[in-house]
Chain A
Amino acid sequence: MAVIGPWLVQGGQMALVLLAAPLLTGLIRKVKARLQRRRGASVLQPYRDLRRLLGKEVVLAENASWLFRTAPYLIFAFTWVAASLVPTFATGLLFSWTGDLIAIIALLGAARFLLALAGMDVGTSFGGIGASREVMFASLAEPAMLMVILSLALIAGSTQLSTIAQFMLSPEAGLRVSLALALVAFVIVAIAENARIPVDNPATHLELTMVHEAMVLEYSGRQLLMISAIACIFFPFGLVIGASEAGRYFVGLGAYALKLAVAGTLLGIFEMSIAKMRVFRVPNLLGGALMLGLLATLLLFVSVGL
């Protein structure tokens, strides 16, 4: 058992991330529906949607290339590998030393690179809109994310996610203003990367408001299944950075489920209470997040001597 144990935990982590992701999407949609005084679809509806897509035929544009066909699988693989490196209910995963936080962000960046290319592939203007707006957001969101990572790494003394999570648990992590700044910046970036309101509307069909939707407009069938599954997976990451629990795995599982539920509800309420921003106001928001990350790092560099 001692030999298989860590492998089971790692495997369980990877499976959990994959299986829980549609549930989270369902929960957020339910919260939003309730706030709009609708009953809303069942929380399990995303599973049914994915099941439906499994059986559908793929319709490919005539000039779609091999890149278009293989991109969903590659994007899914990149995101899944990144997700597996994030500790959810237990720290100290078997392969957590293969990639640190910077590697995780870079893996997600690779997924986004491929998604933007897939959007450009068919040669329609919608794909171009999605891709160009997406890379504009990413050009500010990724540096902001890296600055948050830098400040976390300076506080915790390492870029390994498991080490950071364990550090946050220990009493050495006090109340640091850099943590607060980094947290605010991180929330802004997470909203941007997940294509949620106010940065992007995940349920839109209007050209003016599309960013992510525009890139995946031409996908159908099993490829759309992949893309939709990916979109669910990213969100759970954000939860681990703030605090984490460890120790007993089942307690960890319960705590993780609770955190997911709370975060999902908060996100649903947040999305309902504000409107989507104009596209060219989003760089101001993301630039602000970048400044906050830079300020957090600067304060840490400066106050070491104090």
Chain B
Amino acid sequence: MIVALLICIVGLLGLGIAGVALALRPTGRAVVYGCAAGLCGVIGVLALVALGRPPSTIVLPLGLPWVGAHLRLDALSSFFAFVVSVGGAGASVYALGYGRHEEAPQRVLPFYPVFLAGLFLVLLADDAFTFLFSWELMSLASWALVVSYHREGDNTRAGYIYLLMAAFSGLTLLLGFGLLSGATGGYAFDAMRAAHRSEGVAAFVLALALLGAGSKAGLVPLHAWLPLAHPAAPSHVSALMSGVMTKVAVYAFVRIVFDLLGLPSWWSAVVVLALGGITAVLGVLYALMQHDLKRLLAYHTVENIGIIFIGLGLAMAFRANGFAVGAALALTAALFHVFNHAVFKSLLFFGSGAVLSATGERDMEHLGGLIHRMRLSSFAFLIGCAAISALPPLNGFVSEWLTFQAILLRPGLPQWGLKIMIPADGALLALAAALAAACFVKAYGVTYLGRPRTAVAANATEVDQWSLGAMMGFAALCLLAGIFPGVMIDALAPVSQALLGARMPTQLALPWLSIIPVAASRSSYNGLLIFAFIAASTGLTVWAIHRFASRAVRRGPAWDCGFPDPSPATQYTADSFAQPIRRVFGTVVFRTHETVVMPPPGDLAPARIEKSSRDLVWETFYAPVARVVTATVDALNQLQFLTIRRYLAFVFLALVALLLALALWQ
């Protein structure tokens, strides 16, 4: 099993090398993306088959001579490999159409398959060296893709910050693995599982894992690179980075904390819960303030990562208290959300890529009325918006419902921190979900609905078949995962069994395909029947109304209370839509300030409204670090310009210092 997967990964690497030559040919794009889609599909099928099988391992004589490269395919890896392959296949199919607009394919085509290969290799790695090597491969390939449009806007700065944060995550993970391997120095994961470590070391490893995996996933306050880098890349790569690479970071966290570290302590669960809750709410508030469509989606990824970490924190809390079944429920909810987010975030990025290729605009304030021009992609985008806002009967609702059930599960936990943190997280999760719905009403309403605000929006055309096919496929997947959630829950059972020793009750045997997370008396949900009821009610209503009501329809100008305005500039923009929420939440979180300058009556000058806001996370965490580093570097820069006498003096002083140290040490 693992050998087959390795062959596919080598195939991807080879495709990347071939891409260098193929990029300059006209058919090269189709070959590269088509083969990538095919290979991802094969890997997906292999991963699904491997979910039910026991883990398989292999040791390759590559890498460090005394370690080799250990690779392992167990339930957790197969699930994440399935998620990555779904995302990868979808993005490749989408790129078959979208890639036509690439101006410089030689900057994208070679690195795309290498990125995919890096993602899969991280999932298979079973020792620290292979893991870190694949992690860096993944980061570097995606960096190359981020700076592929290096002449546009802020992309070089985005790439620079991305590279810094990627190096930071690699460094912290290196330190974490170093601590995990302990004094014996066994780098293989098997050795780390067996080793015993003190509480302090375990706490330190958890902190490093949070920093390393969290910065790649986008936990606040390490998220700042995400909204800069994700929009800068081409849209199919953005979909991969947001939908899939962040999940690989979640995989790293789950692997380190649940598998290698052993039993967590309850206060570490409190930390994870707190970070998850804050990330969820801050992410969506940032997203609400944006009017660049891709940046909004990137910030929204931060919110969903927060939701996933809330589920992981709950799993840690229950596990620390020995409540394995509850931990299984929480872990299943978190991993279900991993799959869901990969699907609908990719769909949304595909939609924004479609808008970008049809109009050339990413700014919502220059769009509008696209629902008339781009019918199918607007429908798919609507499904994505509804799914991400957690509306039944789609998939986003199911994972959120499961997370709430996990929160309600055991109020009798003995630790005070957990007793206060879990209901607080429930409130934060509910708040994040409601704000997400608001955010996507804004995104869909301003971009697709209303009247076109510019000429490019008025003249947009529908995108090509491949992009549409990928988008519709993912929209169908959203609906299917929402209607048949039992399939996914049962697929996740081997994962929770392997990591926690317990699993949720079998769902597929239940009547009518409903899901019952704990017991029938507590709660149950049936996506299929709710969907059927909604469809039936709609059908019945339509029939009844068309039977009994007047059928006459007339088109006319909009009513608008009798004063319709012909200029599309009077309709609501993204900023104006977000204004009430900005006033309620933004004054506290972003210190937003609005000033209105009204000219006196009789003056023909227009009124002006100016708003200012500050990114407090950037100012508190990043700007001081940048200032300290710059100051240190400026001071050290003096070393460049010394005279020869000074350099000789340095050498002399260093020698004297070493001899002194030697003398004292003896």
Q: Which A residues are in CB contact (< 8 Å) with B559? A: 59, 61, 217-218
A57-B550, A77-B537, A218-B559 given; A106·B397 CB < 8 A: yes
Are the C-beta atoms of A58 and B423 separated by less than 8 Å? no
Tell me if A273 is interfacial: C-beta within 8 Å of chain B.
Answer: no
Are the C-beta atoms of A58 and B554 separated by less than 8 Å? yes
Tell me if B412 is interfacial: C-beta within 8 Å of chain A.
Answer: yes
Q: Which B residues are in CB contact (< 8 Å) with A42? A: none
Q: Which A residues are in CB contact (< 8 Å) with B368? A: 123
Are the C-beta atoms of A120 and B449 separated by less than 8 Å? yes
A106-B391, A110-B392, A138-B437 given; A222·B445 CB < 8 A: no
Are the C-beta atoms of A304 and B412 separated by less than 8 Å? yes
B635 to chain A, nearest CB (A): 48
Are the C-beta atoms of A78 and B529 separated by less than 8 Å? no
* Mask: chain A, 65-108; 1 = CB below 8 Å from B; 0 = not: 11100000110111011001000000000010111101100110
Are the C-beta atoms of A305 and B391 separated by less than 8 Å? no
Number of interface residues of A (CB under 8 A): 89
Are the C-beta atoms of B550 and A142 separated by less than 8 Å? no
Interface of B is mostly: helix
- Of the candidates B371, B522, B571, the one whose C-beta lies within 8 Å of that of A158 is B522
The CA-CA distance from A74 to B541 in the complex, in Å, is 9
Q: Which B residues are in CB contact (< 8 Å) with A117? A: 441, 444-445, 449
B308 to chain A, nearest CB (A): 19
Are the C-beta atoms of A128 and B572 separated by less than 8 Å? yes
* Mask: chain A, 133-147; 1 = CB below 8 Å from B; 0 = not: 101101111110011
Q: Which B residues are in CB contact (< 8 Å) with A154? A: 408, 411
B402 to chain A, nearest CB (A): 10
Closest A residue, CB atoms, query B450: A123
Tell me if B579 is interfacial: C-beta within 8 Å of chain A.
Answer: yes
The CA-CA distance from A86 to B618 in the complex, in Å, is 47
Could you say which of A113, A132, A135 has the most chain B C-beta atoms within 10 Å of its C-beta? A135
Could you say which of A110, A133, A305 has the most chain B C-beta atoms within 10 Å of its C-beta? A110
- What residues make up the interface of A, taking CB atoms closer than 8 Å to B? 53-63, 65-67, 73-74, 76-78, 80-81, 84, 95, 97-100, 102-103, 106-107, 109-110, 112-113, 116-117, 120-129, 131-133, 135-136, 138-143, 146-147, 150, 153-154, 157-160, 163, 205, 207, 217-218, 221-222, 225-226, 279-280, 283, 290, 293-294, 297-298, 300-302, 304-305
- Of the candidates B391, B442, B549, the one whose C-beta lies within 8 Å of that of A225 is B549
Q: Which A residues are in CB contact (< 8 Å) with B663? A: none
Q: Which A residues are in CB contact (< 8 Å) with B525? A: 98-100, 103
A73-B541, A81-B537, A142-B433 given; A153·B556 CB < 8 A: no
The CA-CA distance from A271 to B415 in the complex, in Å, is 45
Known: A81-B533, A125-B571, A140-B584; 19 extra A-B contacts, CB below 8 A, are: A57-B554, A58-B553, A61-B556, A67-B449, A98-B514, A106-B397, A110-B386, A121-B445, A127-B571, A128-B571, A131-B441, A139-B434, A139-B438, A143-B433, A154-B408, A222-B549, A226-B545, A300-B411, A301-B419
Tell me if B57 is interfacial: C-beta within 8 Å of chain A.
Answer: no
Task: List CB contacts (< 8 Å) of B437-481 with chain A.
Answer: 437-438, 440-442, 444-446, 449-451
B15 to chain A, nearest CB (A): 41
Q: Can you spell out 11 A-B residue pairs with CB atoms less than 8 angstroms apart?
A: A60-B553, A62-B557, A98-B526, A109-B389, A109-B390, A132-B578, A138-B437, A143-B434, A150-B407, A150-B426, A225-B549
- Of the candidates A61, A159, A225, the one whose C-beta lies within 8 Å of that of B558 is A61
Q: Which A residues are in CB contact (< 8 Å) with B56? A: none
A51 to chain B, nearest CB (A): 10
Are the C-beta atoms of A55 and B450 separated by less than 8 Å? no
Tell me if B65 is interfacial: C-beta within 8 Å of chain A.
Answer: no
Closest A residue, CB atoms, query B560: A124
Q: Which A residues are in CB contact (< 8 Å) with B521? A: 157-158, 160, 163
Q: Which B residues are in CB contact (< 8 Å) with A222? A: 545, 549-550
Are the C-beta atoms of A136 and B558 separated by less than 8 Å? no
Are the C-beta atoms of A128 and B576 separated by less than 8 Å? yes
Are the C-beta atoms of B445 and A147 separated by less than 8 Å? no
Are the C-beta atoms of A56 and B392 separated by less than 8 Å? no
- Of the candidates B386, B392, B558, the one whose C-beta lies within 8 Å of that of A124 is B558
- What residues make up the interface of B, taking CB atoms closer than 8 Å to A? 368-369, 371-372, 382, 386, 389-392, 397, 401, 404-405, 407-408, 411-412, 414, 419-420, 422-424, 426-427, 430-431, 433-435, 437-438, 440-442, 444-446, 449-451, 512, 514, 520-526, 529-530, 533-534, 537-538, 541-542, 545, 548-550, 552-561, 564-565, 568, 570-572, 576-581, 583-584
Q: Which B residues are in CB contact (< 8 Å) with A221? A: 549-550, 552
B408 to chain A, nearest CB (A): 5
B270 to chain A, nearest CB (A): 14
Q: Which A residues are in CB contact (< 8 Å) with B424? A: 294, 298
Q: Which B residues are in CB contact (< 8 Å) with A123? A: 368-369, 449-451, 558, 568, 571
B311 to chain A, nearest CB (A): 16
Q: Which A residues are in CB contact (< 8 Å) with B579? A: 132
Are the C-beta atoms of A125 and B570 separated by less than 8 Å? yes
Could you say which of B414, B426, B520 has the most chain A C-beta atoms within 10 Å of its C-beta? B426
A136-B581, A294-B423 given; A159·B537 CB < 8 A: no
Closest A residue, CB atoms, query B424: A294
Q: Which A residues are in CB contact (< 8 Å) with B389? A: 109, 113
Are the C-beta atoms of A301 and B420 separated by less than 8 Å? yes
Are the C-beta atoms of A131 and B541 separated by less than 8 Å? no
The 5 A-B residue pairs with the shortest CB-CB distance in the complex, in nearest-first order: A128-B572, A120-B445, A123-B450, A143-B430, A123-B451
The CA-CA distance from A1 to B450 in the complex, in Å, is 53
Could you say which of A66, A98, A121 has the most chain B C-beta atoms within 10 Å of its C-beta? A98
Could you say which of B392, B405, B450, B521 has the most chain A C-beta atoms within 10 Å of its C-beta? B392
Closest B residue, CB atoms, query A142: B434
Closest B residue, CB atoms, query A299: B423
Closest A residue, CB atoms, query B573: A128
Are the C-beta atoms of A95 and B529 separated by less than 8 Å? yes
Are the C-beta atoms of B441 and A139 separated by less than 8 Å? no
Are the C-beta atoms of B538 and A160 separated by less than 8 Å? no
Are the C-beta atoms of A297 and B537 separated by less than 8 Å? no
- Of the candidates A66, A128, A147, A279, the one whose C-beta lies within 8 Å of that of B426 is A147
A62-B557, A132-B578, A135-B437 given; A54·B550 CB < 8 A: yes
Are the C-beta atoms of A131 and B554 separated by less than 8 Å? no
The CA-CA distance from A61 to B369 in the complex, in Å, is 13
Q: Which A residues are in CB contact (< 8 Å) with B556? A: 59-62
B168 to chain A, nearest CB (A): 34
Q: Which B residues are in CB contact (< 8 Å) with A294? A: 423-424, 427
Closest A residue, CB atoms, query B536: A77
Are the C-beta atoms of B431 and A129 separated by less than 8 Å? no
Q: Which B residues are in CB contact (< 8 Å) with A157? A: 521-522
Q: Which B residues are in CB contact (< 8 Å) with A124? A: 558, 560, 564-565, 570-571
The CA-CA distance from A135 to B561 in the complex, in Å, is 22
Are the C-beta atoms of B558 and A131 separated by less than 8 Å? no
The CA-CA distance from A80 to B522 in the complex, in Å, is 24
Are the C-beta atoms of A63 and B545 separated by less than 8 Å? no
Are the C-beta atoms of B411 and A301 separated by less than 8 Å? yes
Are the C-beta atoms of A147 and B411 separated by less than 8 Å? no
The CA-CA distance from A301 to B408 in the complex, in Å, is 10
B433 to chain A, nearest CB (A): 7
The CA-CA distance from A106 to B407 in the complex, in Å, is 17
